Structure 1
Amino acid sequence: MHVGQLAVPPEVVRALVAEQFPQWRGLPVRRVASRGTVNALFRIGDQLAARFPLEPGDPEPTRRRLEAEAGQARELMGRTPFPTPEPVALGAPGAGYPLPWSVQTWLPGVVATDAEPGGSVAFAHDLAEFIRGVRAIDTRGRTFSGTGRGGDLRTHDDWMATCFDNSEQLLDVPRLRRMWQDMRELPRGSTGDVMTHGDLVPDNLLVSDGRLAGVIDVGGFGPADPALDLVVAWHLLEAGPRQALRDALGCDPLEWERGRAWAFQQAMGLVWYYVESNPGMSQLGRRTLERLTAEA
């Protein structure tokens, strides 16, 4: 999926676990099938999950990033009615793998991509409860960092131009360009930054018996535009549950439209970037754009 992507064979993971965490040496290590684009995932026994960054980089910045993600996970843990992963340990490079890696608790459930709860109003209400819980966490004066999604929509113009250029053979680009021209002008509302999950895509939502059972990949937790977590409305939900989510959160028209814009921005990048390397993620982007254009 990425230039120079790192290989993470199971035997390397077993060697790293045995060397650095001998208390887990006897536990089985097995790869987790995932559409994730950032980490290779492995289970260690029944209770733990190891995450290995896939993109090459320098060890020290990677270690700092993983430490920051662990801090974010600790801040979020237990603050909503829904389980999120607990950081357990930070591993070091070794056995041929060049970067630090992390271990966290394993959460049971089926990812929403496979469970397909998008037609459920009850699931939409669960999502609203999670988003409300995250928003209620004190920002402690923190504001959006200025990188990635969650700030000024217009700062993404260059990336969107790249997406449009690379999607000419895949999508109705003239229509999508017109949609972005309207979306990018949406102003921020009067509400300041709130705490957000930052990446509420179906692959980060766990389902059990048709209800939200947990939320994973919490490294993006932080202050941002309140509309950012609304992307789940178009990434996952059908029309009725989508309206139920909006009603439960009491979104005003501007916040809702900015949520549409963030979902659009994310989906445009998924379609072309992963069309060959991760078809499932590319299809997620297509489905989101279908929902957005149907509304338009």
Structure 2
Amino acid sequence: MTDNQQDGRAGIDAALVRRLIAQQFPQCADLPVTPVKIDGWDNRTYRLGDELTARLPTHESYVAAVHKEHQWLPILAPALPVAIPEAVAKGSPGEGYPYHWAIRRWIPGETASPETVADLDELARSIAGFILALQSVDATGGPIAGAHSFYRGAPPEYYHDETLEALAVLKGRIDIDLAREVWDAALATSWDRAPVWFHGDIASGNLLVRDGRLSAVIDFGTCGVGDPACDLVIAYTFFSGTSRATFREAVQQDPATWARARAWALWKALITADIPVVEEVLADHELHT
């Protein structure tokens, strides 16, 4: 895609970003605007010079994250062991673009992968430390899990019908009875303590590393306060074997929370037909129950 082509998502392109910047933040109007090499689906992100980014939601459902992150990122940052996005400014609708948008500080680093991570066990401990630090932040007044977090932090039961439909579709490709056992075991538990902070999407694409070590966690669009089980899903989508065991020990969560974590991982794997992750979840259930 060229610099000026639209990608079909909310009509966002570099030319739009330049117009918005010139209109609302003229002090940045001379900065070059370039698409980032690795982008997400919920937002389109552009570099503004060397130190800033512009992040524009692609749909109305992602706009709540702009306001939420602008308010809460500065509060969360001091308590966390690695960098997180720094909210610099919040843009308004304009130039035909209908949503609020964000300017953030650029965070250097490489996306976490088996190729960029020096030691998976060390990464597992680092992510566990991040999760525990996040849970320790005072959750008073924080955004209770709901539509803004796409129900991360709420009971996985919200996706019950979707899960059962996916199970029916995958009949014959996975052990349906065991998968239903995993799902039912999760729904039989609940988070019965005070709500805690969760990130909501701790996945390799939202982890940055430098020199092979975790250096930043990005994209807090699904964060909130509630049940932290959703933050354990990376155990099945990225870790395995000794690194999963290391993560499990370091993150210090109880068996019921792990049961719901398996349900979160199972739901996503089912609706995306990610059979390898489904198999990982089922094997882990059998190992720990």
- Relative to the length of structure 1, the TM-score reads 0.81
1:48 to 46, 52, 58: 52
Quote the residue 1:32 is aligned against.
36
* Distance change in 2, residues 1:17/1:102 (3 Å): same
- 1:23 aligns with 27
C-alpha distance after superposition, 1:251-290 (max 9, x if no partner): 3322222222222223333x16xxxxxxxxxxxx555334
Deviates more, 1:23-32 or 1:250-259: 250-259
Report 1:52-67 matches (<5 A).
52-56=56-60, 62=63, 65-67=65-67
Give secondary structure in 2 for the equivalent of 1:117: coil
In 2, distance between residues paired with 1:110 and 1:160?
33
Distance change in 2, residues 1:116/1:262 (3 Å): farther
Identify the match of residue 151 of structure 1 among 154, 170, 177: 154
Partners of 1:196 and 1:224 within 8 A in 2: yes
Which residue of structure 2 aligns with residue 71 of structure 1? Answer: 71
Describe the shift of the 1:210–1:152 C-alpha distance in structure 2 as closer, same or farther (beyond 3 A): same
Alignment of 1:73-222 (within 5 A): 73-113=73-113, 115=115, 117=117, 120-140=120-140, 144-147=144-147, 148-164=151-167, 167-168=169-170, 172=174, 174=176, 177-188=179-190, 190-222=192-224
Q: Answer whether contact 1:73 1:221 (CA < 8 A) is retained.
A: no
Q: Supply the AA of the counterpart residue of 1:288.
A: V
Bigger Cα displacement from structure 2, 91-100 vs 177-186: 177-186
1:241 corresponds to which of 243, 246, 252: 243
Verify the 8 A CA contact 2:65 2:222 in the aligned structure 1.
no
User: CA 1:190/1:16 → structure 2, altered by over 3 Å: closer, same or farther?
Assistant: closer
Unaligned runs of 5+ in 1: 273-284
Deviations 1:9-40 (A, max 9, x none): 11111222122211111211111133522101
For residues 139-169 of structure 1, what are the alpha-carbon distances to aligned partners after superposition, in whole Å with 9 as ceiling and x for unaligned?
Answer: 126584344122222232123234445x549
Q: Quick one: distance in 2 between partners of 1:12 and 1:140?
A: 38
SS in structure 2 of the partner of residue 178 of structure 1: helix
Q: Contact 1:85/1:105 (CA < 8 Å) preserved in 2? A: yes
Cα separation, partners in 2 of 1:7 and 1:293, compared to 1, 3 Å:
farther
Alpha-carbon contact 2:206-2:219 (below 8 Å) kept:
yes
Structure-1 separation of matches of 2:114 and 2:103: 24
Aligned to 2:281: 292
Partner of 2:93, secondary structure, is: coil
How far did 1:127 drift?
Answer: 0.6
- Structural RMSD (CA): 2.8
Amino acid aligned to 2:227: D
Deviations 1:52-90 (A, max 9, x none): 111257xxx94x652222112122112111000111111
The verdict on how the C-alpha distance between 1:39 and 1:141 changes in structure 2, with shifts beyond 3 A counting, is: closer
> Aligned to 1:78, what secondary structure does the other structure show?
helix
Q: Report the identity percentage.
A: 33
Compared CA separation, residues 114 and 101, structure 1 to 2 (3 A) = farther
Q: Which runs of 5+ in 2 are unaligned?
A: 1-7
How many angstroms apart in 2 are the aligned matches of 1:139 and 1:241?
Answer: 29
Q: Which amino acid aligns with 1:266?
A: K
Q: For the residues of structure 2 that align with 1:92 and 1:142, how far apart are their CA atoms?
A: 23
CA distance in 2, matches of 1:142, 1:87: 17
Query: Given the superposition, is the C-alpha separation of residues 149 and 170 from structure 1 closer, same or farther in structure 2, using an over 3 Å criterion?
Result: farther
Q: What TM-score results when the alignment is normalised by the length of structure 2?
A: 0.83
CA distance in 1: counterparts of 2:19 and 2:92, whole angstroms = 12
**Alpha-carbon distance change, 188 to 113 in structure 1, aligned in 2, over 3 angstroms:** same
